[in-house]
Structure 1
Amino acid sequence: MNGEELRRRYATKERDFSAVNLRGVNISGSEPMEDIFIDIDLSGINFSGANLTNAILAGANLTDANLSNANLTGADLGQCKLIRANFSGANLTKACLDAVKFRDTNMSGANLRSASITQTQLGNTNMSGAKYVSNIDWTGTRVKGLVLKDGTAIDSDGDW
């Protein structure tokens, strides 16, 4: 499916895209809020600037996805694969990022206010300039090469 087809289906009020192949689709700046993208391959998708408020992306493969400056307020990203994903400047307020696999992910400047990030794996994740990092419950999170707001890199062999 391409971006035009997705927009057409969205205009007809379709909201459950869990069985659709959206790999590499460009829907930057669109407003697919409250949509359902469960357990699908969204690798390479361009959601930059999109309004994904309350979207359900649980279990999705977001490898190489661009979610820069996207509004993910209240979104469920639990159990997602976020490898080389770009969340720079994204609003992740109250987002669920539990049991997520972050690797080489850019979260610089992201707003993480009241986000849930437990039981995750953070490998080479850039959180420089991210907001509200100190208020997150990191229970069960394993860390390697996490770069914080002040540029500090953290490695932890066990839970952080």
Structure 2
Amino acid sequence: MNAEELLARYAAGERHFEAVNLARVSLAGANLSGINLDRANLVEANLSRANLSGASFQEANLARVNLTEADLSRAFMLKANLTESQLSSARLVGAVLVEANMSHAFLFEANLEDAKLTDALLVGAVLPDGTEQQSAKFP
């Protein structure tokens, strides 16, 4: 599926796009609030400045995705792969990142207020304050 098809179907009211392949697509600045992308492949996609509030990414592959300044408030990202993703200045307020793999992700100035990070893997991740996470899992 390409970006144009996804945006057209979303605009027509469709919200369920489970297991879709969106690798390397650009959806920068798109309003996709409430979208369901469970188990989707979004490797190297550009979602910068996108509104993804309330979106579901359960077990999705978001490796090396650009989520700079994206709104992921209340996003459900249980067991999502966010390895090496760019999340600088992203809004993750109330997001569920339980068991997410965020190894080497860049979270500088990200807002993680009330986010649930239980058992999230953050080794090598750059945290909101600019420090690098040394231990394997978030407490």
Report the CA distance between 1:30 and its aligned residue.
1.1
Listed as ranges, the gaps of 5+ residues in structure 1 are 137-147, 156-160
- CA deviation profile, 1:80-113 (whole Å, cap 9, x unmatched): 1110101100000110000011111000100111
> 2:35 matched to which residue of 1?
40
Q: Match of 2:106, as an amino acid?
A: N
Give TM-score scaled by structure 2 length.
Answer: 0.87
SS of match in other structure, 2:97: strand
Distance in 2, matches of 1:45 and 1:94, equals 23
RMSD: 2.2
Which residue number in structure 2 is paired with residue 135 of structure 1?
129
Q: Which has the larger radius of gyration?
A: 1
- The change in CA–CA distance for 1:28 and 1:104 in structure 2 (over 3 A counts) is same
Higher relative contact order (CA 8 A, sep 6+): 2
More strand by share: 1
- Which of the numbers 123, 130, 134 marks the counterpart of 1:150? 134
**CA–CA separation in structure 1 for the residues paired with 2:138 and 2:20:** 34
TM-score normalised by length of structure 1? 0.77
Q: How many residues align?
A: 137
- Structure 1: which amino acid aligns with 2:123? S
Name structure 2 gaps, 5 residues minimum: none
